[in-house]
Amino acid sequence: MNIVNIFLHYPVGIMASPLLLLGFIMLAYSLARIKTEEILVGRSGFFPFFLKILPGHMVIYGRTGSGKSNTAKLIASMLSKRIPVLILDWAGEYDLDNFEKLVPGENFQINPLEYISGDLSEHIDFLVDLFGDVFQFSDPMKFMFRRTLNQLFKDMRAPTLVQLLEKLDAIPLKSYYDHETKMAIKRRLAHLIEGRALRTFVGSSHSLGHLFSTNIVIDLSVFRSVHIKILFTLILLKMLYDYVVSRKRFSRKVKHVVIVEEAYNVIPYRRLNYLPSIGERLFAELRKYGECVIAVSQSPVETSWSLAKNARIVIIHNVLDKDVDSIFGIKANPPFSKLSTGEAYVIQDNKTRYVKFFKYKNKKSRREITKISRIKFFHVLSFERKNHDSYIEIE
């Protein structure tokens, strides 16, 4: 498949040169022995370019229209033929072949409070940190939230958000300040038990075995609230972490891939003296279990510095040069801000390469292109016949 892609994506004129054709034949022979963790994604100059996919995380940066989503789609399409890929689609733009599409509140549900494995107190700590980060709980709010969770999990293993708010209501108050704290929590969480959010976060969770062993796109564009999208993403990453830990799936090879769009919402910028966010901690922990997490964002200065510094692969499409310089300290020619759609610099194995990424086309797009090509061909053919007949008549 890689060899075929090379010949399809390179100009026909190149094949006309005997020396270059011989070089491609030698290259094709070497590709027959390529390692399974490498995928062909584009070309660097006249040479094919491969990404080496290993456990850890990868980041793709680029402004709107720079081609970062196409790069993510291309990588997902190539990897999905070997290992399962899960895509958290924030904008509803992923329409990939051989991927099942799940829509929260319609054919997909998760319970944010569900306890899967491990120590229960650690699970409660995570929930307090998660809800505290997403909804900006104060310390008194975190204390009351933890107290509510402790009482709730004494009664049931998998409580719902509705039951959580009911338990919160039942907590006795000792002062007016307690009343204000309780109401502040309720105001922040009330929209989670209404409309689509209620249909998504109620009841038992989707089968984790199916979710993490199949090629799946989860369409988060159905949510208008950014807070719900962030909560959903982090809960799903935590479920993935609990799932791989419970299976004791330590691996040096990639067993599963997760693509997170709009990653600056999940792993936002933080100062050096601030503690890592929940998203950062999950990204760091998942690499031990054969997970590759791909973060897609607009600029390196919008995400945590650790996301870029600790990434195995960094793909930089068109962004501001000063943003790249401030994080990576590198300059390039042509500059990052002058890159065309689909062009990028790739930092891999401590080397920076200029790469032109292939254009991803699904079956529907290919059928449309084939149909248009046929229409154009018959139009040209009929035009030539018409002109030929006119020529004969004139003679």
Largest CA distance in the chain: 106
Average pLDDT over residues 217-226: 94
d(CA 19, CA 12) in angstroms, rounded, equals 14
What percent of the chain lies above the pLDDT cut of 90?
A: 60
Dihedral (Cα; 300, 269, 121, 162), 10-degree rounding: -100
Q: What is the DSSP string of 33-64?
A: T--TTEEEEEEETTEEEEEE--SEEEEEE--T
Condensed to tens digits (0 to 9), the pLDDT of residues 283-326 reads 888 888 889 999 999 999 999 988 888 899 999 999 999 999 99
The two tokens of residue 217 are 């796109």
Residue type, 81: K
Residue with tokens 């299976």: 247
Condensed to tens digits (0 to 9), the pLDDT of residues 143-159 reads 999 999 999 999 888 89
Condensed to tens digits (0 to 9), the pLDDT of residues 174-191 reads 899 999 999 999 999 999
For the segment(s) 53-108+206-357, the CATH number from 3.40.50.920, 2.40.50.140, 3.40.50.720, 3.40.50.300 is 3.40.50.300
Q: How many beta carbons lie within 10 A of that of residue 292, not counting itself?
A: 26
What is the side-by-side order of every strand in the sheet holding 56-61? 47-52, 38-44, 351-357, 343-348, 313-316, 56-61, 289-297, 251-260, 85-89, 216-219, 100-102
Question: Do residues 128 and 146 make contact, with C-beta atoms less than 8 angstroms apart?
Answer: yes
Domain range annotation of the chain:
53-108+206-357, 120-199, 365-395
Question: Do residues 26 and 282 make contact, with C-beta atoms less than 8 angstroms apart?
Answer: no
Average pLDDT over residues 367-386: 49
d(CA 341, CA 346) in angstroms, rounded, equals 15
Tell me what pLDDT residue 288 has.
Answer: 84
Burial of 81 (0-12, 13-18, 19+ CB in 10 A): exposed
Q: How many beta carbons lie within 10 A of that of residue 50, not counting itself?
A: 18
The two tokens of residue 386 are 């018409």
**pLDDT of residue 228 exceeding 90:** yes
